[in-house]
Amino acid sequence: MCASFTGVVAERLHTGQSWVSGRSRCNSCSAYLDGRDLIPILSWLLWTGKCRQCRARVPGAYALSELSLAIAFAAAYHLFGFSLVLPFFLVALIVLLFIVLYDLRHMIVPTGSSTLLLVLSVIVAVLRAPALQALGLVFLVAGAIAIFFFLLHVCSRGRAMGLGDAPVALALSLLVGTQAIAGLMFSFWVGALYGIVVLSTRRGGPRMGIEVPFVPFLAIGFLLALFTAWNPFALVL
């Protein structure tokens, strides 16, 4: 349910629609949705990815976001167990999902959400740090990564990277701690793989000039590095 509600907020925020009150409706026929339509993942599978009433196609992104958050929650519990870190990390995952969905829909990162993610990431970093020296190193690496993204934005005049990516990269670096550099590498690898697939499969053949939000790749890369603890440098070597 967390992912479903997060998706509603990301879809309706700053559009004039209320996400606080009112029942869920089908975007195609405006019919009200009841309990049969709102079971995470299962409803989408049960009605074969279509509205139960008008049979209009329901984007698979809804079910994918619900599945992704469920997997991330399970992985977080496996990694942290019932600890003080866990609740802050879970809330950070929800905020991160909102940022990803909002960026995919509007191609912008809301300042308030990235600030909240940064605050939660600082708390997680402090709670996870075994010593003050280790915490200092985590902040140093995170700061360097954030500066790297900021310089990418400035040097490309916003064409290569959006300004909102820098605070998200900073927050994710703090969130994953010692896996920050690995997360950065994974992010660019996943982004490059996506670009290759899009360029090779789009109509009319490969053409440059595709504008794609980078925050989803950051989220995938950094969380993949954290949950798998896979060292990309070993693969390179």
pLDDT at 194: 85
Burial class (CB in 10 A: 0-12, 13-18, 19+), 8: middle
User: pLDDT under 70 in the chain at which residues?
Assistant: 1, 12, 14-28, 30-32, 34-38, 202-211, 232-237
The two three-digit tokens of residue 190, written as one number: 């996943």
**Residue ranges of the domains in the chain?**
2-236
**Which pLDDT belongs to residue 118?**
96
> Would you state the pLDDT for residue 230?
78
pLDDT score, position 203: 67
pLDDT at 42: 79
Per residue in 211-237, pLDDT (tens digit) is 678 899 999 999 999 999 877 666 655
For position 226, what pLDDT does the model report? Answer: 94
For residue 213 the two structure tokens come to 């939000």
pLDDT at residue 93, as a whole number: 96
- The residues, any chain, with a CB within 8 Å of residue 102's CB and separated by 6 or more, are 10, 13, 108, 109, 110, 113
Phi and psi torsions of 198, nearest 5° = -65, -45
50 three-state secondary structure:
strand
Count of CB atoms situated within 10 Å of the CB of 221: 25
Alpha-carbon distance of 10 to 25, in angstroms, equals 15
Are 158 and 149 contacting, i.e. CB atoms less than 8 angstroms apart?
Answer: no
Query: What b-and-e string marks burial along 18-32, b requiring 16 or more CB atoms within 10 Å of the CB?
Result: eeeeeeeebeeeeee
